[in-house]
Amino acid sequence: MSILKVINPNIQYRLPALQQLKVAKHISPNIFENKTPLFHIDLLTFINGEEKYKAAAVFRGSAKTTLLNKVNIFCRVFFEHEPLTIITSDSRDKAESFLSDIKDMFISASNIGYAISKGAVWTKEEVHVTVNKDKKDADGKSLEEICIVISISVGTSPRGFLKKNMRPTLIVCDEHGEQSRSVCCR
């Protein structure tokens, strides 16, 4: 499989939804049991659009968590080097479970040859991954990027959150209350 690489991310060059799904299926084929319905492509296209704030409410069992907490976050980290991603959920266990699944994708990708590896922090609440480890451009400049993904529960607000003097660049809120199965991305 040919892997696209985005060194200087720009919304107009963001990996299209269909390509994101193909990459995810290549890395973690076990998370996809059925053929991809067309609305998955529409949902990823919407979430990856130019608007800064988005919200999606989708029926139960639609795989929105797989799409937005796994496929979207993996692609944003690997292809766009998303600096600081926060995943929130209504409980610490759920948030950590989402992060655990993403960690599995990072490991799987590394094992099959993607230029991504574990960074200095690798806990159940926070991971640092290195994209393009030891890679250099034609001028010898390092292409290495450190990306951070953190899980928090609903009681912890991402508002005002700082990590290494950075504000979150992507916030994904999933399963905030059993009655309102919604996902938001910032």
Concatenate the DSSP letters of all residues of 51-70 into one string: -S-EEEE--TTS-HHIIIII
pLDDT at 181: 45
pLDDT at 9: 45
Is the pLDDT reported for residue 114 higher than 90? yes
Is the pLDDT reported for residue 61 higher than 60? yes
pLDDT at 77: 94
What torsion do the CA atoms of 168, 92, 184, 76 make, to the nearest 10 degrees?
50
Degrees (nearest 5) of the Cα angle 172, 47, 176?
Answer: 35
pLDDT at 13: 57
Mean pLDDT, range 57-84, rounded to an integer? 85
Provide the percentage of residues in the chain whose pLDDT is more than 70: 83
Q: Out of 26-40, 86-100, 120-134, pick the least confident.
A: 26-40
